[in-house]
Structure 1
């Protein structure tokens, strides 16, 4: 952590200039998908009230590494939110949610389908008091269909959506990405849905349900997977670090680590081959286009590796950047924390948590030139805002 960094949260004035200032969001979800959507809306100025179970709170408070009993992950996922402790298993808790929902623009939930209806908190119930309500519902399989009642976590959604099959080395069991991509992809699709529904409400005055299934969010990012199968019966298989059908693009061993190189543009390929001393491959007529390079990809990858393996990562990166070939080291979080570009782009922010910990956290994405988001308040203590109403 930089000793020169200064703890910061943006001012209330900055929040009032954010694009979602004045938007009121009630977050009922737990763990990752629903709360990540709430975090994203909060980063851009929405007022987010997070409802948590009394006593324990969101289970994410206890996930992974803790400081003074609270996860540091919590400090990112729940920034820019308030916390209200309500027991939704009680009539009083549900009544409080109905009261809050009547005053809000957006409600986020990621319970098993049917749970909100069982509590008398379904969309039809809440829309009677608030016709403009937008309800973001995130679940494993969606609110309809034969699988709607099955429990669905990101691990299952990534498998069903086609992602897990492609992850890993050929002939070996699929691997996990290391983070819950299914949850995060669903949350981002949910945020898109909320913004679209707000646009529609501006015309019609009516809210609506935004129904996001984790597996569909994953499947939506699977590029040409389905049309290739539909047209040719082709089943894309895992290919490790390579990019099948596009060459050369791979990870390559160096003397002290690895780099990734994307040399698959026609002119980029020629510069790459010239830089590694393989003018013969640079000028070969059959390698002038991607189709020809794909046919000889093993030969090309071997030539690149022969060059990279004799050089340290820094030398490979410097040599290829000098000739405008896309190349990069494979970052650990230590590399990220030390990288000046991250800091220049304000992607590493230093905050002080509610318990006094100085902590570096990811900045706000995307970057808006005139109405940027920000870090407006630290993640709340459980029930810190009990009894408060909405505030502007």
Structure 2
């Protein structure tokens, strides 16, 4: 626990709220960056109230996305609040924000202005559509980015409207790319001494995950459609029933792996059947092959089925729910879930840091902080404000 963290020499100021910007801050904080989250002194980040389940009126999302961060308050609608934040930014390596383009500029925090006092500052800006272009000024929620980036159209069953993943996928992808861009910009700063703007757009982050969708249309005039639980011409790779009501995903579309699957099924002749002998043939006869596998899998309990498949080297696994993750030996062995102390809820479990580094791993040090918990630490320790100044700022509602 005393091992130095790889980014513990970085100071990050996070001005964003909700998810895309703050998730980028979380990722940097996981590896040791000092992340100073600036919140409105009245209510703070709306994420403090968000989440499907709120036992005792407490958000279960906030402790995760704000983990490892320091919370300070400043009213950015006031000149005094803007001045305080500019002074903090002057001592930072990275600024993260996810407001509409132009907001920082209205607050007197245009990149050119900030670089006058801090030329090495990396300014990471996460928005729906980016800082330029005809859509830049539009409100850009993650769901809109998912729609325009292409992933919504290809998600779901073909006879129904496009579906969505049960998580905030677009926001999270934009945050991951923002974090990547931030680290690249910091690396470049090591060469030049200069910061730059990292422009992460939600729709572009989604588009970046769309494989060969663009050239498929441009070269072949082929439009991917919704295909439910399968990918076209990739078979077998589907979810199959078991005798005890579980669902197991089996992925055996490669020729060599398919031979292992039919060996586990004790039906080796299927690998010689012209309908299933090659990857292309199995893709054409996908529906029939899925029926054969489902008929077999439905006669075996999930544990026994997985044991047979794994013994043959066939990739397979249950469809996990949260409770399954807590009970799984592999999750436990790799400490995929970490437990911390929460001031209201006691022991609090969340996903651990990813990826794992062999020499300089990240660490979850604490859950998301109380609103303004670190005001004195930052305003006294970093900016050197005295008691009278702090009292005046509090009385005016600035912090």
Return the TM-score normalized by structure 1: 0.94
C-alpha deviations, 1:300-335, integer Å up to 9, x for none? 111101101222222221211111101111011010
Aligned equivalents of 2:278 and 2:192: distance in 1?
51
Say if 2:182 is the partner of 1:190: no
Contact residue 270 and residue 283 of structure 1 kept, 8 A: no
Contact 1:354/1:378, CA 8 A, preserved across alignment: no
The structure showing larger relative contact order (alpha-carbon pairs under 8 Å, at least 6 residues apart) is 1
Instruction: Report whether the alignment pairs 1:145 with 2:133.
Output: yes
Distance 1:356 1:159, change over 3 A: closer
Where does 1:96-107 land on structure 2 (aligned, <5 Å)?
A: 96-107=84-95
- Name the residue aligned to 2:235: 247
Distance in 1 between residues matched to 2:158 and 2:54, nearest whole Å: 37
Q: Which residue of 2 aligns with 1:47?
A: 34
Greater Cα offset, 292-301 or 40-49 = 292-301
Alignment of 1:169 onto 2:157: yes
Is 2:121 the partner of 1:118? no
**Aligned equivalent of 1:278, options 267, 271, 296:** 267
Q: What is the deviation of 1:254?
A: 2.1
**1:130-173 deviations in Å (ceiling 9; x for gaps):** 11000110000000001001111111111111001111111111
2:352 is matched with which residue: 347, 360, 363? 363
User: How far apart in 2 are the matches of 1:139 and 1:153?
Assistant: 8
Q: Does 1:314 align with 2:299?
A: no
Runs of 4+ in 1 over 6 A off after TM superposition: none
Contact kept in structure 2, 1:113 and 1:143, CA below 8 Å: yes
**CA distance, structure 1, for counterparts of residue 29 and residue 256 of structure 2:** 43
Report the Cα distance in structure 1 between the residues aligned to 2:139 and 2:183, rounded to whole angstroms: 27
* Contact kept in structure 2, 1:52 and 1:86, CA below 8 Å: yes
| 8 Å Cα contact 1:57/1:382 also seen in 2 | yes
Which residue of structure 1 aligns with residue 373 of structure 2?
Answer: 384
Does residue 130 in structure 1 map to residue 115 in structure 2?
Answer: no
Contact 1:274 1:282 in 2 (8 A): no
User: How far apart, in 2, do the equivalents of 1:168 and 1:253 lie?
Assistant: 19
**Would you say the 8 A contact 2:341–2:366 is kept in 1?**
no
Cα shift readout 1:40-99 (whole Å, capped 9, x = no counterpart): 100101000000001201000011223443312111111110000111001111001100
**Quick check: 1:345 aligned with 2:355?**
no
Aligned with residue 200 of structure 1, among 185, 188, 192: 188
- CA distances 1:277-317 after superposition (whole Å, capped 9, x unpaired): 32221123563331121122122111101101222222221
Alignment: residue pair count: 378
* Aligned residue number for residue 303 of structure 1: 292
* TM-score of the superposed pair, with normalisation by structure 2: 0.92
Structure 1 residue runs of 5 or longer lacking an equivalent are 1-9
Q: Deviations over 1:225-268 (max 9, x none)?
A: 11111111000011111122222111112221211110011110
Specify every segment of 5 or more residues in structure 2 that has no aligned partner in the other structure, as ranges: 383-399
RMSD of aligned alpha carbons: 1.4
- Does structure 1 residue 24 correspond to structure 2 residue 8? no
Tell whether the 8 Å contact from 1:354 to 1:381 is kept in structure 2 after alignment.
Answer: no
- 1:73 equivalenced with 2:61 (yes/no): yes
Distance 2:330 2:242 in 1: 23
C-alpha distance in 1 between matches for 2:343 and 2:34: 18
Q: Is the 8 A contact 1:79 1:377 kept in 2?
A: yes
> What's the offset of the Cα at 1:361?
1.1
Question: Counterparts of 1:350 and 1:377 in 2: how far apart (Å)?
Answer: 10
